[in-house]
Amino acid sequence: QIDYTGTEPSSPCNKCLNVSWDSTPPCTCTINFTLEHAFESNVFMYYGLSNFYQNHRRYVKSRDDSQLNGDNSSLLNPSKECEPYRTNEDKPIAPCGAIANSMFNDTLELYRIDNDTRTPITLIKKGIAWWTDKNVKFRNPTGDGNNLTALFQGTTKPVNWPKPVYMLDSEPDNNGFINEDFIVWMRTAALPTFRKLYRLIERKNNFQPTLQAGKYSLDIAYNYPVHSFDGRKRMILSTISWMGGKNPFLGIAYITVGSICFFLGVVLLFIHHKYGNRNTSADIPN
């Protein structure tokens, strides 16, 4: 886990701390780190945010699911739930709403360092979203031809986006509303500290680990401002074993609930043993 917020003066990303949404060119920084142990199986790269409340009621409602599902009428006439990110300069915003407007847009690149030579790690950007989201909930508008520029004509980009939705990717099956980075962001988190899947690193063969132990560097295009609300950003590398991924939350929750139940069981047993055998029948005098 690499924190690259840059609040510490010694951090390479400190120069980017007060970056704005529309900084041109984007601020870049590089953080070097060492993997003490090799990652044997497929590796999942996440970005993590802290103190970011995606669970706020008005934030969660600020979207138009019909528009995201490719409905042409909703594309040009978004839901009022998207206010104040419904229109901009008298044009409907696509995608509208506060969730889309605040989409995470840092760019992360990973390199292995071997004898001062940097070798890029292949990061896979497809397959990171839920199948139901990619194929059911999110669809591009329909019309004559497959030109997204024409299909989104008459709309404008979200206020904080540097480019419109039909320019999120060069590949047609990962562009527009079906862009997987966008889909992952639109699935809101339940807690203010969360992480979302960013990229996949697939294992190439069974004879070498996916990521060998050694030195690595993380190149960051720092676009996403978090300092204004005391947030933090981090990159996480994780893998899975035959038992699944490492997630201590369920274990802590089970132990906590089990301990409470055990304590209450002992208390109720004591109460039953001390007071349960009393004769509750009242003697009626003659």
- 173-183 residue pLDDT tens: 999 999 999 99
How open is the CA angle 214-222-194, to the nearest 5 degrees?
75
For all residues of the chain together, what is the average pLDDT?
Answer: 89
Q: In the structure encoding, which two tokens stand for residue 207, read together?
A: 């004879």
Pairing of β 43-50 and β 232-241? antiparallel
Write down the pLDDT at residue 204.
84
Quick check: 34 pLDDT over 90? yes
Quick check: 113 pLDDT over 90? yes
Write down the pLDDT at residue 274.
83
Quick check: 278 pLDDT over 70? no
153-162, 204-213, 275-284: which has the highest mean pLDDT?
153-162
Q: In the structure encoding, which two tokens stand for residue 98, read together?
A: 């506060």
Residue 226 neighbours by CB under 8 Å, 6+ apart = 5, 49, 51, 52, 232, 233
Write down the pLDDT at residue 254.
92
Write down the pLDDT at residue 63.
95
**What would the pLDDT profile of 182-193 be if each residue is shown by its tens digit?**
999 999 999 999
Write down the pLDDT at residue 277.
65
Rounded average pLDDT over 249-269: 92
Write down the pLDDT at residue 284.
53
Quick check: 145 pLDDT over 70? no
